[in-house]
Chains A and B, each alone.
Chain A
Amino acid sequence: MTAQTRSGSTGGFFAVAWAVAGRQTYKYFRNPAFLAPALFPLFFFVAFAGGLTRIGSVPGFDYAAGYTAFQFVWALLQAVTMGGAFTGFSIAGDFENGFARRLMLAASNRRGIVLGYVIASIARAVMTGTLVTVLALVIGMRISGGYDLFGLVGLVLLANIAATLFGAGVAMLMRTQQAGPVIRTPIFLVLFLAPVFVPLRLLNGWLETVASINPFTTILGSARGFLAGQPQNVLPAFGIGVALVIVFVLWALFALRRAEKAGS
C-alpha cells in the first residue's frame, strides 16, 4: 500500500482507528486501573450472588442455571457498559488536556478516532469480562448453555459498543471531565431499573412498569437465557442491541462534528 492510498478516505479511516485503539490499549496495560470498571460490578456480584442466594428459592423463581448465574449475567453486562462509560471519561480527559486536539490535527479521517476508541473499549471489555467470569466460576457458577454462549457474548459486545458510543458522544459534546456523571448516571439507572434481583415476572409496582419498558430488560433476559441454554427473545434482544448501536453511532458522529466546529 502506498502513502497515497493510505491517506485516501478508507485507508485513513482504519489507519486512524488502529492508531487510536493502539494508544488506548497501550495505556491500559501501563496502568492496572483500566480494570476499574470491573470493580463495582464485582462488588455487586459478590454481594448479590453470595448474599441473596436464598432468593432463588422464592416461589416462581424459575431460572434454570441458579442464582449465581442469574446475577453473573447482570454483573457482566454492568462491567462492559461501565467499561464503555470509562472510555467516555478518558475521551473527556483527552479533550480537557488537549490531547484530542493533536488527534484531530493528525487524523485524516476523524471518524476513525471514534472507531479507535470503540475498538479499545472492546479490548477492555474482553479483559474485564474475563475477570468477572473467572470470579463467577470461582464462586461456583454452573454454565449450562453450549453454543448458546456465543449469543451471550454477542449481546455483551453490543451492549459495550452502545455504551461506549453513548459515552464518547457525551464526552465530545462536553469536552471536560464534568462529562463523567452525565455519562455514568443514565447508564447506572438503565442497569438498575431492570430485573436485577428477580425475573421480570416477580417484580411488581412501579419497578415492574419501568423495567418492562426499559430496553435493557430484554437484552438482560435474553442474555440470561443463553447462559442457561434456554434462549429466549433472541431476535428482539439483538434487534434492540443493533438499534442502540446505530442510534449511538449517529449520536457520536453528531458530537464529533460539534467538537470539530468548536475547534476543540
Chain B
Amino acid sequence: MGAFITQVAALAARSVLRTARQPAVIVSALLFPMMFFAINANGLSAASRIPGFPGDSYVDFAFAFPLVQAALFGAITAGSDLARDIESGFFDRLSLTPMRPVSLLLGMLFGVIALGLLQGVVFLCVGLLFGVDVHSGFPGMVVLVGLTILTALGFGAIGATLALRTGSVEAVESAFPLFFVAIFMSSINLPRNLIEADWFRFIATVNPISYLVEGIRSLVITGWDVQALGLGFGCALAIVVLALAAAGTSLRTRMAR
C-alpha cells in the first residue's frame, strides 16, 4: 500500500509539474473560458428579457458555462498529455517499472483535479468581480467548485480513455470539437423550457451535460435546489464511474502482456 501511494504521489507530482511549467497552457485554460463567458454573458444579456427567464441577470445564468468549459479543457489537456506519453515511449518506460497501471491513471487525474480546482477558484473570483451573485452563499461556492472538479474528473477520464485507445495526440485533439458540440447542445445558453426547436430541446434533455450545467447553475441562481443538485452530482458521478471503468479497461488492454 505504501508503495502504491508513493507511485501515485510521484506521478501526480509529475502531472502537476508539467502543467505548471507550461504557462501558456495555464493562461489559455484560464483566459479562454473567461473570454467566452464575457462575450456570451454580455451578448446574450437580452435573453433575460424573455418571459419566463429564471432570475433577472444573464451573467448569473451564464456562469455555469466557463466552469463546464474548464472541465473540458482539463480533459483535452490530460488526454493529449497521456497520448503524447504513449507516442514518445514515456509510457513504455513507466510500464517497465513495477508501477501499478491504476497509479498512472490516478496520478494523471490528480493533475486534472488540480487544474480544475485552480480554474474553479479563479473563475469564481472573477465571476464575483463581474457581479455574479451566488444565491447559496459561501457553502454553495464550495459545493460549486466540488461539482466542477467532479465534472473535470469525468471528462478527464474520457480523455484518458481516448488516449489509451488511440495512442495518438492528434486523435485526442480532434475529439475536442465533439466535446464542444456536446456542451453547446445542452441547456448551457437557455433554460430547456425556453428552447423553441423541439429537436434541440430533445437533445438538450438527453444530454447529461445539461444536468451538470443545471446543478452548477442552481447554486448560483436559486440557492439550494436539492433536485437539480441531485441530478447534477448523480450525472457527474455516473460519468466518472463509467469513464473510469472504460479507462481502466483500455489501460489493461494497452498494458496486456
Using a CB–CB distance below 8 Å, which chain A residues touch chain B?
Answer: 39-40, 43-44, 46-48, 50-55, 57-61, 192-193, 195-198, 202-207
Write the B43-54 contact mask toward A (1 if CB under 8 angstroms, else 0): 111110110000
| Interface-side segment among B63-71, B104-112, B177-185, B230-238 | B177-185
Task: Please determine whether B42 and A198 come into contact, CB atoms closer than 8 angstroms.
Answer: no
Task: Please determine whether A43 and B197 come into contact, CB atoms closer than 8 angstroms.
Answer: no
Task: Please determine whether A193 and B177 come into contact, CB atoms closer than 8 angstroms.
Answer: no
Using a CB–CB distance below 8 Å, which chain B residues touch chain A?
Answer: 38-39, 42-47, 49-50, 177, 180-181, 184-185, 189-190, 194-197, 199-200, 204
**Chain B contacts of A54 at CB under 8 A?**
47, 50, 190, 194-196
**Other-chain residue from A47, A195, A203 in contact with B189 (beta carbon distance below 8 A):** A47
Task: Please determine whether B197 and A57 come into contact, CB atoms closer than 8 angstroms.
Answer: no
Task: Please determine whether A51 and B189 come into contact, CB atoms closer than 8 angstroms.
Answer: yes
What would 20 A/B residue contacts be, using CB atoms closer than 8 Å? A39-B177, A43-B180, A43-B184, A46-B181, A47-B184, A50-B195, A50-B199, A51-B185, A53-B196, A54-B47, A55-B44, A55-B190, A59-B49, A60-B46, A195-B43, A196-B39, A197-B47, A203-B45, A207-B38, A207-B39
**Chain A contacts of B189 at CB under 8 A?**
47-48, 51-52
**Other-chain residue from A39, A44, A47, A55 in contact with B47 (beta carbon distance below 8 A):** A55
**Other-chain residue from B42, B50, B194 in contact with A205 (beta carbon distance below 8 A):** B42
Task: Please determine whether B46 and A58 come into contact, CB atoms closer than 8 angstroms.
Answer: yes
Task: Please determine whether A43 and B39 come into contact, CB atoms closer than 8 angstroms.
Answer: no
**Distance in angstroms between the alpha carbons of A61 and B44 in the assembled complex:** 12
**Distance in angstroms between the alpha carbons of A59 and B46 in the assembled complex:** 9
Task: Please determine whether B39 and A51 come into contact, CB atoms closer than 8 angstroms.
Answer: no
**Distance in angstroms between the alpha carbons of A174 and B184 in the assembled complex:** 34
Least Cβ–Cβ distance between A43 and chain B, in angstroms: 5
Q: Which residue from chain B places its CB closest to the CB of A195 in the assembled complex?
A: B43
**Distance in angstroms between the alpha carbons of A43 and B188 in the assembled complex:** 14
Least Cβ–Cβ distance between B127 and chain A, in angstroms: 16
Extra pairs beyond A51-B197, A207-B39 (10, CB < 8 Å) = A40-B180, A43-B181, A48-B189, A51-B190, A52-B47, A196-B43, A197-B44, A197-B47, A198-B46, A204-B42
**Chain A contacts of B177 at CB under 8 A?**
39-40, 43
Q: Which residue from chain A places its CB closest to the CB of B180 in the assembled complex?
A: A43
**Distance in angstroms between the alpha carbons of A60 and B47 in the assembled complex:** 11
Task: Please determine whether A207 and B184 come into contact, CB atoms closer than 8 angstroms.
Answer: no
Task: Please determine whether A193 and B49 come into contact, CB atoms closer than 8 angstroms.
Answer: no
**Distance in angstroms between the alpha carbons of A219 and B242 in the assembled complex:** 47
**Distance in angstroms between the alpha carbons of A196 and B184 in the assembled complex:** 15
Instruction: Knowing A197-B43, A207-B42, say if A52 contacts B190 (CB, 8 Å).
Output: yes
